[in-house]
Structure 1
Amino acid sequence: MSQSQLSVVVPVFNERDNVTPLINEITTALRGQIDFEIVYIDDHSRDDTLAVLQALKAVTPELRVLHHVTQSGQSTAVRNGVKHARAPWIATLDGDGQNDPADIPKLLAARAAAATEVKLFAGWRVNRQDSGSKRWASKWANAIRARMLRDDTPDTGCGIKLFERAAFLDLPYFDHMHRYLPALMQRAGWQTTSVPVNHRHRTAGVSKYNNLGRALVGIRDLRGVAWLITRSKRTAVEER
């Protein structure tokens, strides 16, 4: 197989019924468009997600499967997927099927038209298909985040993103960091942009989050990211 230009990283936990249709959609969207690989990270699922993924490797040559020996959460899964990825650019998707792989070419097109300083293209769910309570909680959280971090990003919680691998791996790592990628990229001196994308209902499985738990963790993380931004220091470097 030729060197991949894009690695599609998908973290999953107990998503056995969503694995096959999502992988089929990824290959439909990207085959013939770009050299790519698909990197699934099973976060120590308690169902047979891992077995389903291993069986799909026989019919999906682009598929690679990583497995966490202990459950470690979405941010760790994304980071490990990126660390093991072979391509210079990464597209991420949530494993629940609510992100549409057909939007990946749209992100790639936005990259082609953007300046080289733009290292993150973040999906923006303009027509969310979540429950009313989840949409309200997300709107409230985004408003507070925007006020504190000033990252000019309307939807940081969207799972579909496109970013440069090297830029991502240079960011400070902490649990839940995937929710603050625009602010962290901007802190590192890069530009980011938001791209409207499709959003779909979950058709199988159950959500792994609740609004209260997400809010309590988010408040602590938000304070930490705000502190990181105030402590950042950048300068140009010359070799002489």
Structure 2
Amino acid sequence: MAAGTVPAVTAPEVSVVIPIYNEAENLRDLVARVHEALAPRPGGFELICVDDGSRDGSDKLLVELAAERPWLKPVILARNYGQSTALQAGFERALGRYVATLDGDLQNDPLDLPALLDRLETDDSIDMISGWREHRQDRAISRRLPSRMANRLISWATKVELHDYGCALKVYRREIIERIHLYGELHRFIPSLAKEAGARIAEVPVRHHARTRGVSKYGIDRTFRVILDLLLIVFVLRYRQRPLHVFGGLGLSLATPGVLILAYLMALKILGEEIGHRPLLMAGTMLVLVGLQFIVAGLISEMLVRIYHEGGARPQYHVRSARMPADGSR
């Protein structure tokens, strides 16, 4: 090799992305189990753990564990951005041909990964496999029942039929990950975003374990956030490229009866009737004004969409520190 030549970096076959938030009690076992599951596979793997502003020392423990494990690549976010942004930070650093995700609480079983990856590798008709916690081990009914309701609602609204949208254990072909961008709390709707990006999706039952250490980060309030996020995802999937259709359609549906009401009142005025005291005059005027406002909002949204697609996007997150392996790979 000539002097000064940088050796080529061989990308691993599999990248595993795990968002971490206050999971110090589980980290050692999590890292060990991922290694146990993927080390025997040819092609190599990398484990990207994204610490999302933990306050229990998870970030320091990740750096400590990575010191002796070149395949472990911690990313330490500057603050708590949320699970979607943590996943996006990991996706942007993933080098593998296949990308897998799971939670950091050990309720997902890393030993399920090889079977999912094998199927994705051998079945060209699938671009993404989503886990299905068919036998959930959550003790609290306050988690299981809302989850079932949310899964049915999301499947109905997005037309992507899955039993378990909330399962973090998923595997993807790299090109699918490169086509989607997560922000806010869109991690719950990755299958819908992937489907829009052209992914062919399969669902496979996987194991699920009860949490034994640490504290769950989810509560009943998540159900209400899911409903609000669902409104966003339906709008994004159906009208992201044409917001005028939804705002303009709503505006026309309001303005049209308003115009008809005002035309009717004008005809009465021409015939000599007094219309100034009629409630219909106020109703017609309000319908026209509100309808015009929605149409203008649609036009402004169209301009914003144009700016979004034609202009550069600002950074979504800031990294405080991230350990880089000695060979210079990410």
The reply to whether TM is greater than 0.5 is yes
Match of 2:70 in 1: 61
Could you say which structure has the higher helix fraction?
2
- By how many angstroms is 1:6 displaced? 0.6
- What code does the residue aligned with 1:199 have? H
Match of 2:173 in 1: 164
The answer to whether structure 1 residue 127 and structure 2 residue 138 are counterparts is: no
**How big is the alpha-carbon RMSD for the aligned residues of Structure 1 and Structure 2?**
1.5
The answer to whether structure 1 residue 24 and structure 2 residue 38 are counterparts is: no
The 8 Å contact of residues 187 and 232 in structure 1, kept in 2 or not, is answered as: no
User: Aligned with 1:84: secondary structure?
Assistant: coil
In terms of mean alpha carbon deviation, does 154-163 or 219-228 score higher?
219-228
Structure 2 gap ranges (5+): 1-8, 242-330
Match of 1:179 in 2: 188
In terms of mean alpha carbon deviation, does 193-202 or 164-173 score higher?
164-173
**Percent identity (aligned):** 35
Match of residue 104, structure 1, among 103, 109, 113: 113
The 8 Å contact of residues 107 and 210 in structure 2, kept in 1 or not, is answered as: yes
**Matched length:** 231
Q: Return the TM-score normalized by structure 2.
A: 0.67
User: Aligned with 2:79: secondary structure?
Assistant: coil
Match of 1:208 in 2: 217
In terms of mean alpha carbon deviation, does 180-189 or 14-23 score higher?
180-189
User: Aligned with 1:221: secondary structure?
Assistant: helix
- By how many angstroms is 1:45 displaced? 0.7
Match of 2:15 in 1: 7
In terms of mean alpha carbon deviation, does 139-148 or 168-177 score higher?
168-177
User: Aligned with 1:106: secondary structure?
Assistant: helix
The answer to whether structure 1 residue 79 and structure 2 residue 72 are counterparts is: no
Match of 1:194 in 2: 203
User: Aligned with 2:229: secondary structure?
Assistant: helix
The 8 Å contact of residues 9 and 40 in structure 1, kept in 2 or not, is answered as: yes
Quick one: distance in 2 between partners of 1:80 and 1:172?
10
Match of 1:237 in 2: none
- By how many angstroms is 1:60 displaced? 2.1
Q: Which structure has the larger Rg over C-alpha atoms?
A: 2
Q: Return the TM-score normalized by structure 1.
A: 0.91
- What code does the residue aligned with 2:210 have? H
Structure 1 gap ranges (5+): 234-240
Q: Which gives a bigger RCO, structure 1 or 2 (Cα 8 Å, sep 6+)?
A: 1
Quick one: distance in 2 between partners of 1:168 and 1:58?
28
Over residues 42-94 of structure 1, what are the superposed CA-to-partner deviations in whole Å (9 max), with x where a residue is unaligned? 11111111111111113322101100001101110001001011213211010
The answer to whether structure 1 residue 45 and structure 2 residue 68 are counterparts is: no
Quick one: distance in 2 between partners of 1:44 and 1:173?
18
- What code does the residue aligned with 2:128 have? L
- By how many angstroms is 1:202 displaced? 0.9
Match of 1:238 in 2: none
Runs of 4+ more than 4 Å apart: none
The 8 Å contact of residues 14 and 99 in structure 2, kept in 1 or not, is answered as: yes
- By how many angstroms is 1:169 displaced? 2.9
Could you say which structure has the higher strand fraction?
1
